[in-house]
Amino acid sequence: MSKDGLPTGLNIDATGIRVAVVTATWNEEICDQLHARAIARGRELGAEVADFRVVGALELPIVAQALARSFDAVVAGGCVVRGGTPHFDYVCDSVTAGLTRIALDEGTPVGNAVLTVNTYDQAVERAGFEESVEDKGAESMEAALATVLTLRQINN
């Protein structure tokens, strides 16, 4: 499980940081949970959080890019479950490359909360439900906010 090695004890004071959360609505139950957990964690840490929705994972990069121009950080969430065709691979590659490119091109941290899983049950395990072993929405928010703070430290 990818939770192994997750950093603990992050001391993040996100006061004054503006972060946008954009999440797909495909695989609604999972995406709603990822979205809610990212927003809740950002607010717990003191960030000003704005939320946006798109239909599917492929729509995330274009909206995340627009948000990256106006916010200190972006968290993008979604859920892509493997099917019987290569479509899964194309979607996952496109979204991951797009989000990475946005972060580098815009100089804005982008937390990747897009689950790419073989089964729906694997998504549930990672979405931050009570029975889940991981909370990728919250973890991606923490990573994005911590990166904002690191960049501010470098630039000061």
131 is in an annotated binding site: no
Q: Highest-confidence range of 5-9, 41-45, 83-87, by mean pLDDT?
A: 41-45
- The rounded percent of the chain whose pLDDT value lies above 70 is 94
**Does residue 135 contact residue 37 with C-beta atoms inside 8 Å?**
yes
Residue at token pair 């065709």: 85
57 is in an annotated binding site: yes
- The rounded percent of the chain whose pLDDT value lies above 90 is 88
**Does residue 99 contact residue 114 with C-beta atoms inside 8 Å?**
yes
79 is in an annotated binding site: yes
Which one-letter amino acid corresponds to residue 41? R
- Whether 35 is a known active-site residue: answer no
Give the separation between CA 43 and CA 45, rounded to whole angstroms: 5
Q: Which two tokens stand for residue 66?
A: 């627009």
Q: Which two tokens stand for residue 62?
A: 């274009």
34 is in an annotated binding site: no
Q: Which residue, among 49, 44, 19, 54, has the nearest Cα to 135 in the 3D structure? A: 44
Note the pLDDT tens digit of each residue in 92-139: 999 999 999 999 999 999 999 999 999 999 999 999 999 999 999 999
Query: 77 pairs with which residues across the strands?
Result: 23, 113
Q: Output the pLDDT for position 8.
A: 64
Give the separation between CA 146 and CA 151, rounded to whole angstroms: 9
Q: Active-site residue among 3, 69, 87, 101?
A: 87
Give the separation between CA 82 and CA 117, rounded to whole angstroms: 6
Q: What's the whole-model pTM score?
A: 0.94
81 is in an annotated binding site: yes
